[in-house]
Amino acid sequence: MPKELNLYSKYKYIWEQLDNTMDSLFSYIQSYPLIEMDSYGNITVSNTKENADKVPVFCCHLDTVHNEEPQLELIHNDILMTMGGGGVGGDDKCGIVACLELLHKIPCKCIFFRDEESGCRGSRQFNAKSLKNNLFCIEIDRRGSSDLIFSASGGKMCSDEFQERVKKAFPHGTPAQGSITDVCVLSDAEINMMYVSGGYYRPHSDKEYVVLSELQRNIDCLVVLANDIINNPLKDKTYKRSVISYATKGYTPRTWGSYQTGVTAGNGGTEAGEDLFGRTASDYDNPGEDDYQAMQYGRHKKSYK
């Protein structure tokens, strides 16, 4: 029996891209019955024709902050790094890979947003009200392995009941405060939303890396959660929250500072040491050089089975 492909070999073409597009996604999604692209270029894929508006929704973003295609290296069949060129782009290729895997595993809809890194411009153009009948919406776009983001930028995005169901499906998960990503601007949908870790570390730097086993674990947990809510619906799937709005005028792609040694003000940044949403280096994992070398040589220790 042939060995199952890991998340790198199975989606190698996705990992190799600087930014992904319909062209790079097409071979992975062409067999699904519903594929739509809106006027901004956001891509929605459903793996079922019946009740496509009443299934779970997962999302990610297609762009990265990097300017060079990565020269990828897979260490110990688990840790994906670069040995030159730009960063891995796990933010948010991990989300893309997760969505493609989820389309294989459960009835769902997946949305691939454009231009998250330059102010969530793609998701701001998306018709969020089209999701109002779906069960929930979760984005895979967060550093680390265990963060569960129920609140971001001061706004709660889901009900207490939904949070408890998520925590049950993610026994290793830890609630954390978020800043902003695509689900933060989709409040018009009025359904439960959140975002979760994707197994990437040191985002927005040339020393970014991805732990594939951690990404796989969270994909498995999302499958458990989706099946639970499909079979045992929430008492109330609706959730109304305050609209989170940030001006995007003047934002341009790849204007972020380096999160490796600190953050510098990019186009739209408020002051030295902040990015364009006011986040500082302390908001990001920032292991020292010894930690990075440990990752490079495969000494990343996992505390889970």
* Alpha carbon distance 116, 93 (integer Å): 12
Residue 85: its pLDDT value, please? 74
Q: How far from 56 is each of 11, 24, 151, 252, CA to CA, in Å?
A: 23, 24, 19, 32
What's the pLDDT tens digit per position in 139-179?
999 999 999 999 997 789 999 999 999 999 999 999 999 98
Give the residue ranges of DSSP H helices in the chain: 7-10, 12-16, 22-29, 90-105, 121-124, 160-169, 212-231, 289-296
Residue type, 272: A
Looking at the structure, give the CATH architecture of the domain made up of residues 7-252: 3-Layer(aba) Sandwich (3.40)
* Alpha carbon distance 62, 42 (integer Å): 9
Residue 235: its pLDDT value, please? 94
Strands (E) in the chain, as ranges, are: 34-37, 43-46, 57-61, 70-75, 79-85, 109-113, 137-140, 147-152, 155-156, 174-178, 193-196, 200-201, 209-211
Q: What is the dihedral of CA 52, 100, 178, 283, to 10 degrees?
A: -170
Does 63 sit behind a cis peptide bond, omega within 30 degrees of 0 on the bond before it? no
Residue 243: its pLDDT value, please? 52
Please tell me the pTM assigned to this model.
Answer: 0.82
Chain-centroid distance, C-alpha 134? 19
Q: 20: closest CA among 75, 100, 83, 124?
A: 100
For the record, the structure tokens of 255 come out as: 């204007």
Which residue ranges in the chain fall short of pLDDT 70? 1-4, 242-305
Indicate the burial class of 103 (C-beta count within 10 angstroms; 0-12, 13-18, 19 or more).
buried
Residue 53: its pLDDT value, please? 84
Domain parsing of the chain, residue ranges: 7-252
Is residue 66 within 8 Å of residue 254, measured between CB atoms? Answer: yes
Residue 50: its pLDDT value, please? 83
What's the pLDDT tens digit per position in 72-94?
999 999 999 998 778 999 999 99
For the record, the structure tokens of 297 come out as: 């040589």
Residue 93: its pLDDT value, please? 98
DSSP helix, strand, coil percent of the chain (3-state; round to 5): 30, 20, 50
For the record, the structure tokens of 162 come out as: 């939904």
